């Protein structure tokens, strides 16, 4: 079989069975295995800061940001010493933001967006003007829902969102203009429209892939992002105050996480080339979708379902331990060896968002008589941490991350699982946009680290001389 035959077999591949694909392309798979795998010892040999981490496990310092600060450990004599996690938005402790907001109703998220974008809390007039501005931009451009969302539906709403953001470039009269007034407008429009795109993307998925009735509810004026999402995703538009305030809280908790997290860093890297806002923000969506980043909230849910099928009683700690041991040994769930929802690149003893979401989940589970489900998650947290410490050594201090309990909170609010990661994106739009504006306004140096090439040089062989 020639290369063209092989290649043609790949092209129509939409429904191609992966094993079959591998068999028919074995030659290419062999070549890829032979020439594309960097031997792990090379990272040590060339003193590579693998994953941009220093030898003591801390992140390599590559930038400055005033937007938020993630505290997960202390440095004592150059060594990483575990500490309780803290997250600060523009210097304000997240614990304070979520506990001292008595008058914000279900629009604390909008207040948080203002804080992240403009560096200070809005006064009442500023907040009212800002809320009005967001309300005015929630509608999608003329024809966008029909042409972009309904005509080309996707099983995956993150994929739909990423493509939609790129298409919004064509609806902008000044897409490449980098003046700050234009960046702000682009960002506010994106922040306002993404909840609508995600909600309609969900409705389209439900209709075209799950064969359910199609509901396209126009956004509601005078209410915030959380209420709008519940209004647009529910067939009957109905939601309770508790549901709206809990979703609002979840959006606040997910709004930003410093400059080094994979998606925000992607925004900094891509923006540093001088490209447009839509390119930079859609890149971040692609990053967040990954299961080691925001996509972990969906993997947690899947893993729990898989666990459920592999134990006789989800309340039995011994069975949970046996299942998680298999997960770590790559013998169960997705074979990655990862217990999703545990571990973090910065946090050690605790992730403040997981602490808050866990309590919220416990409260909702108690109200709804679902404490057994809550206990399953708590057992996965406690037993998973114990097993990972046993495997990696007691030097590893690890905790539940934001993605362990967020999905459970959404499940208890009757929010469908297809929306877990997209809701993370709705919230993180605030942070991405703030990082985009900060990067363009303060740093003109293109980000360009170095890679070493371990291969020996070789001569070009003319085609006629190749076997
Ligand atoms: C919004 C967010 O992005 S939060 C993170 C969401 N992601 C997940 O929940 C996926 C599961 N967790 C993980 O994969 C990791 O903990 C990450 C990607 C979040 C962080 O990874 P790292 O920065 O490499 O963490 P860290 O340096 O503390 O890891 C130490 C070791 O423990 C392993 N480890 C960490 N967490 C886990 C986990 N949940 N399951 C299995 N092994 C783990 C790492 O792979 C690493 O192993 P290695 O030394 O053999 O390479
Ligand atoms: O900071 C990170 O590495 C991951 C992240 O975005 C988060 O935890 O919210």
Q: Is residue 138 part of a domain?
A: yes
Distance 34 CA to ligand 2 centre (A): 34
The gap from C-alpha 278 to its chain's centroid, in whole angstroms, comes to 17
Q: Judge if 276 and 333 occupy the same domain.
A: no
Q: Judge if 252 and 303 occupy the same domain.
A: no
Question: Measured between alpha carbons, how far is 87 from 65 in angstroms, rounded to an integer?
Answer: 14
Strand order, beta sheet including 79-89? 68-76, 79-89, 92-93
Q: Judge if 429 and 366 occupy the same domain.
A: no
Closest ligand 2 atom, residue 264 Cα: 6
Residue 82 has φ and ψ, to the nearest 5°, of: -55, 145
State yes or no: is 403 an active-site residue: yes
From 256, 344, 351, 435, active-site residue: 344
Q: What does the block give as tokens for 103?
A: 């008058």
Q: Is residue 349 part of a domain?
A: yes
Q: Which long-range contacts (CB under 8 A, 24 or more apart) does 63-66 make?
A: 63/259, 63/260, 63/268, 63/443, 64/259, 65/258, 65/259, 65/435, 65/438, 66/90, 66/119, 66/438
Q: Is residue 162 part of a domain?
A: yes
From 254, 351, 403, 435, active-site residue: 403
Number of H helices, E strands in the chain: 20, 3
Instruction: List the CATH number of the domain containing 130.
Output: 1.10.580.10
User: What's the complex ipTM?
Assistant: 0.99
Q: Is residue 387 part of a domain?
A: yes
Residue 415 CB–ligand 1 contact under 6 Å:
no
The residue contributing the CA closest to ligand 1 atom 30 is 396
Residue-wise pLDDT for 23-79, tens only, equals 778 999 999 999 999 999 999 999 999 999 999 999 999 999 999 999 999 999 989
Distance 272 CA to ligand 2 centre (A): 21
Q: Is residue 450 part of a domain?
A: no
State yes or no: is 455 an active-site residue: no
Residue 406 CB–ligand 2 contact under 6 Å:
no
Q: Judge if 258 and 308 occupy the same domain.
A: no
Q: Judge if 251 and 305 occupy the same domain.
A: no
What stretch of H or E contains 87? strand 79-89
**Residues with pLDDT less than 50, the chain:** 1-13
How high is the pLDDT of residue 101? 84
Q: Judge if 268 and 151 occupy the same domain.
A: yes
Question: Measured between alpha carbons, how far is 130 from 220 in angstroms, rounded to an integer?
Answer: 16
Residue-wise pLDDT for 256-305, tens only, equals 999 999 999 999 999 999 999 999 999 999 999 999 999 999 999 999 99
Q: Judge if 335 and 363 occupy the same domain.
A: yes
In sequence order, what are the beta bridge partners of 342? 400
Question: Measured between alpha carbons, how far is 245 from 257 in angstroms, rounded to an integer?
Answer: 21
How high is the pLDDT of residue 15? 57
Q: Judge if 231 and 189 occupy the same domain.
A: yes
Among candidates 416, 420, 410, 422, which has minimal Cα distance to 210?
416
Instruction: List the CATH number of the domain containing 368.
Output: 1.10.230.10
How high is the pLDDT of residue 89? 98
Q: Judge if 217 and 284 occupy the same domain.
A: yes
Closest ligand 2 atom, residue 263 Cα: 6
Domain limits for position 210: 105-290+416-441
* 203, 195 Cβ separation under 8 angstroms: no
Non-local (6+) Cβ contacts of 37 within 8 A are: none
Q: Is residue 220 part of a domain?
A: yes
Residue 380 CB–ligand 1 contact under 6 Å:
no
Among candidates 307, 285, 305, 303, which has minimal Cα distance to 421?
285
Which ligand gives the minimal distance to the CA of 343?
1
Q: Judge if 202 and 251 occupy the same domain.
A: yes
The residue contributing the CA closest to ligand 1 atom 23 is 345
C-alpha count within 13 angstroms, C-beta hemisphere, residue 390: 11
Domain boundary among 412, 432, 454: 412
What does DSSP assign to residue 342? B
Residue carrying the six token digits 């495997």: 391
Among candidates 400, 411, 314, 404, which has minimal Cα distance to 364?
411
Q: Is residue 8 part of a domain?
A: no
Q: Judge if 208 and 317 occupy the same domain.
A: no
In the chain, the number of structural domains is: 2
Distance 455 CA to ligand 2 centre (A): 34
Non-local (6+) Cβ contacts of 96 within 8 A are: none
Q: Judge if 279 and 426 occupy the same domain.
A: yes
Q: Is residue 28 part of a domain?
A: no
């Amino acid at each position: 079989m020639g290369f063209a035959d092989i290649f043609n077999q790949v092209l129509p591949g939409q429904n191609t069975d992966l094993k079959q694909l591998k068999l028919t392309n074995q030659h290419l798979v062999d070549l890829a295995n032979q020439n594309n795998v960097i031997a792990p010892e090379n990272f040590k040999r060339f003193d590579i800061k693998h994953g941009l981490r220093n030898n003591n496990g801390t992140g390599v310092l590559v930038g400055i940001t005033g937007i938020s600060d993630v505290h997960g450990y202390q440095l004592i004599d150059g060594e990483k010493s575990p500490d309780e996690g803290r997250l600060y938005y523009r210097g304000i402790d997240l614990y304070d933001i979520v506990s001292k907001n008595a008058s914000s109703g279900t629009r604390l998220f909008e207040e948080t967006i203002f804080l992240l974008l403009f560096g200070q809390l809005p006064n009442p007039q500023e907040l009212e003007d800002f809320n009005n501005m967001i309300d005015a931009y929630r509608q999608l451009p003329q024809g966008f829902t029909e042409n972009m969302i309904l005509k080309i539906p996707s099983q995956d709403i993150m994929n739909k969102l990423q493509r939609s953001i790129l298409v919004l470039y064509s609806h902008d009269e000044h897409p490449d203009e980098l003046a700050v007034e234009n960046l702000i407008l682009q960002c506010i429009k994106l922040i306002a429209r993404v909840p609508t795109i995600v909600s309609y993307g969900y409705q389209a998925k439900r209709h075209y892939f799950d064969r359910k009735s199609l509901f396209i509810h126009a956004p509601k004026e005078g209410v915030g992002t959380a209420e709008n999402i519940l209004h647009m995703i529910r067939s009957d538009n109905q939601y309770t105050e508790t549901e709206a305030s809990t979703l609002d809280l979840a959006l606040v908790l997910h709004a930003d996480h410093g400059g080094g997290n994979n998606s925000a860093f992607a925004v900094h890297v891509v923006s540093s080339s001088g490209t447009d806002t839509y390119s930079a923000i859609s890149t971040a969506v692609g990053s967040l979708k990954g299961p080691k980043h925001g996509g972990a909230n969906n993997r947690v849910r899947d893993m729990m379902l898989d666990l459920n099928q592999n134990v006789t009683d989800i309340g039995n700690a011994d069975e949970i331990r046996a299942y998680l041991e298999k997960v770590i040994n790559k013998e169960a769930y997705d074979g990655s060896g990862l217990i999703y929802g545990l571990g973090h690149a910065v946090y050690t003893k605790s992730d403040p968002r997981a602490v808050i979401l866990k309590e919220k989940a416990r409260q909702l589970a108690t109200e709804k008589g679902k404490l057994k489900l809550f206990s399953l998650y708590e057992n996965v947290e406690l037993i998973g941490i114990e097993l990972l410490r046993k495997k990696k050594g007691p030097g590893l201090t690890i905790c539940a991350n934001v993605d362990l309990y967020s999905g459970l909170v959404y499940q208890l609010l009757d929010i469908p699982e297809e929306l877990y990661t997209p809701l993370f994106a709705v919230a993180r739009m605030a942070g991405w946009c703030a990082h985009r504006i900060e990067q363009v306004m303060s740093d003109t140096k293109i980000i360009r680290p170095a890679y070493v090439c371990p291969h020996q040089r070789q001569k070009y062989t003319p085609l006629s001389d190749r076997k």
